Structure 1
Amino acid sequence: MELPYVSIVIPCWNEARFVSAFLDSVKAQTYPADRVEILLVDGMSDDGTRAIVRDHALREPNLRLLDNPGHSKPAALNRGIAEARGDVVVRLDVHAEYEPDYLLKCVHGLLRNPEADNVGGIRRPLPRDDTALGRAIAVSTTDMFGAGGARYRTGAGGPQWVDTVYGGCYRRTVFDRVGVFDEQLASAQDREFNQRLRAAGGKVLLLPDISSTYYARSDFREFCAWTFEAGYWPFRASRSVGRWIGSFRNVVPVGFVVLLGGSAAAAPKSRYARWAAAGIVGLYGAAALASAGRLAWRHRDPALLVTLPIVFATTHVAYGIGSIWGVLDPAARRG
């Protein structure tokens, strides 16, 4: 049986540091080269990315550079989908590298599971910079305590139906059936699309034998800003589209921040509030240290004992504050 034609859609903006290695991993795929097109949709990068892509395109005739003025990620995805000629559309991220059989496994996943509309795998993080903090940030995204229950982060023992996956390998007909990505959402567009897909009767399948390597942020300020945004967008996007697109794991940090902030604010006037604040901090600290110890042992990295509790606390506080702002931000009202 002839394999379906695949269109790889890649949103991109100012990725000169990563794009060459990424494209090398795409071109190394074992999927038949005559059954693939690579559509890199660039937001008019000004850091040398476009020159690197053009150089790769000279050696890879299936690679096309498309323009995306304004560098909106959902607009990039929609531009790529509109240009795609494939029966299968695969969304890839420049901050990742992919095993040579990644495409083949994704397509086989669709072919072997006809009820699946979107197939994805496990995202395995590496630090962009090999520092104690960078390693802690990367490791924290794989643990239930630090990242919640998203299976594409924490892993799974076998195939599972899930709410979302990293990237995604879609049947082209899905976009005809449920539409494309919401361009009013600067982030969380994947989550919103997959929620819309499932609401229409579609299914998202996680196959743990499919994996990619993602380069996690290592700079502390950048990590804080990214975590705030990660907390903000599920709530902002839900308000914008008029329905809840998140899950229980998105709500937990909000509860933590509200309880801790409320008890701390009342502590000067209430002995019970002081006890509550101390109890929350004590229980949280014990859980963070236990998780840090387990992960430090697993990765044979003693530095994680010190850095992981800091990363955990930063994650949950920044995410929770971002979520609260996502609830309150007047800009979320859709006109």
Structure 2
Amino acid sequence: MPPPSDTPTPILPALPERPSVSYVMPVLNEEGFLESAVRTILAQDYAGEKELVLALGPSRDRSDEIARRLAAEDPRVRLVANPERDIPAGLNRAIAASRHAVVVRVDAHSELTPDYTRRGIGALRREGAANVGGVMRAAGRGAVQRAIARGYNSPFGLGGGAYHGEGAAGPAESAYLGIFRREAIEAVHGYDPTILRGEDWELNLRLRRAGYTVWFESALGVTYWPRASFGDLARQFFATGTWRAVLVRRYGRENPWRFFVPGALVLGIAASLAGLVLLTAGVLPWASGWSLLLAPAACYLLGVVFAVTRIPEQRGLRDHLLTAVALVTMHLSWGSGFLRGILFGGGRVVDRSRV
């Protein structure tokens, strides 16, 4: 999105060849993933100075103990408290405590490829961008988590953003995680702590509004470990849909049309279910009403069947069924949350699937 005609495009100062880097990570109940994520950050094949700031929320597991041990083992790891527990608040606290010119957002459920920092900073310098992101490649260990990962990696699951696929490098709407110029983050006042999900998209929108470039670099890769159960997936996507609706209420047409589709889907299926009840009860005649009323649900089921046949890396009937359940859980949970957010706002709806 180009800047308004009366707003000059901001020019960022040139980066040195190997600028110092601050990695920032919010942490809450991540004992099963934290150490592995930290190791991939500290092992980056980047010669510049590095630090990692962990913003520790009020975890109920061993996350704080693991973080303290990692900090004791390596002086590049620093700890700050995040009593609010929310992701944007934690990121802001970590950024405020960090020191270097490049800020790299990282996540305990993500593992960076060894060349991630080097390639990302190369793109920052080459494109004069304020933020650079790469491809999110979801992975799973068990059958259910692998099915959920297939949904993440498919346009039939999440779709939309370039970082969910293997598209060409270029200017982007948003970025997964992100490799930021500190000057740009400070110019737009960081993450909005009132946006509890979708904070990345909202920050990148404000960067683009200010005239900065958000860049998708297809050579960057991040492994993401999604939720491992359908119940946790439903909780996550309900919260995500709710806060997407908050962003729609705030920013209106600046949201892409695709964000409205899951909510419309839920309304269509609800209409089909109500129609089925009325037809079965004899309130409506089958001869005249069934085809119109049941069409939304029937079309959706056919769409899911088609999607499952097109998604790769499935073996046997069980994988296909699990993929179908993952897709339906994503769509209906996200859409239900979206309708809740449109009607009532975000309130204190948060993702409790990690708790």
Q: TM-score, normalised by structure 2?
A: 0.86
SS at match of 1:123: strand
How much is the aligned-residue C-alpha RMSD, in angstroms?
2.0
Structure 2 partner of 1:274: 290
Q: 1:40, 1:66 within 8 Å by CA — same for their partners in 2? A: yes
SS at match of 1:234: helix
Q: Does 1:49 align with 2:63?
A: yes
Structure 1 partner of 2:264: 255
Give the superposition deviation at 1:53. 1.6
- For residues 113-160 of structure 1, the C-alpha deviation after alignment (integer angstroms, 9 at most, x for no partner) is 11x211000011112x412x222111011111111222211231x202
**Matching of residues 120-269 of structure 1 within 5 Å:** 120-127=133-140, 129-131=141-143, 133-156=144-167, 158-239=168-249, 241=250, 243=252, 246-267=255-276, 268=278, 269=284
AA matched with 1:248: W
SS at match of 2:133: strand
Q: 2:80, 2:97 within 8 Å by CA — same for their partners in 1? A: no
Q: Does 1:65 align with 2:79?
A: yes
Percentage of matched positions with identical amino acids: 30
CA distance in 2, matches of 1:266, 1:137: 31
Q: 2:171, 2:215 within 8 Å by CA — same for their partners in 1? A: yes
Of stretches 169-178 and 40-49 in structure 1, the one that deviates more from structure 2 is: 40-49
SS at match of 2:18: coil
- Over 3 Å counting, the alpha-carbon distance change for 1:326 and 1:68 in structure 2 is same
CA distance in 2, matches of 1:307, 1:331: 30
- Over 3 Å counting, the alpha-carbon distance change for 1:279 and 1:44 in structure 2 is closer
SS at match of 1:170: strand
CA distance in 1, matches of 2:297, 2:339: 20
Which of 105, 112, 126 aligns to 1:112? It is 126
- Over 3 Å counting, the alpha-carbon distance change for 1:294 and 1:266 in structure 2 is closer
| Structure 2: gaps (5+ residues) | 1-15, 279-283, 349-355
- Over 3 Å counting, the alpha-carbon distance change for 1:294 and 1:328 in structure 2 is same
Q: 1:121, 1:212 within 8 Å by CA — same for their partners in 2? A: yes
Q: 2:268, 2:297 within 8 Å by CA — same for their partners in 1? A: no
Structure 1 partner of 2:299: 283
Q: TM-score, normalised by structure 1?
A: 0.91
Q: 1:229, 1:322 within 8 Å by CA — same for their partners in 2? A: yes
| Structure 1: gaps (5+ residues) | none
Of stretches 45-54 and 185-194 in structure 1, the one that deviates more from structure 2 is: 45-54
- For residues 150-191 of structure 1, the C-alpha deviation after alignment (integer angstroms, 9 at most, x for no partner) is 2211231x2022211110011111123211111112222111
Stretches (4+) displaced over 6 A: none
CA distance in 1, matches of 2:345, 2:306: 39
SS at match of 1:264: helix
Give the superposition deviation at 1:245. 5.7
Q: 1:253, 1:320 within 8 Å by CA — same for their partners in 2? A: yes
AA matched with 1:42: L
Structure 2 partner of 1:35: 49
- For residues 282-321 of structure 1, the C-alpha deviation after alignment (integer angstroms, 9 at most, x for no partner) is 32222211221122xx314223322222222222111111
CA distance in 1, matches of 2:136, 2:227: 14
- Over 3 Å counting, the alpha-carbon distance change for 1:203 and 1:277 in structure 2 is farther
SS at match of 1:64: strand
AA matched with 1:40: L
SS at match of 2:225: strand
CA distance in 2, matches of 1:183, 1:130: 34
CA distance in 1, matches of 2:74, 2:86: 26
- Over 3 Å counting, the alpha-carbon distance change for 1:260 and 1:44 in structure 2 is closer
Structure 2 partner of 1:8: 23
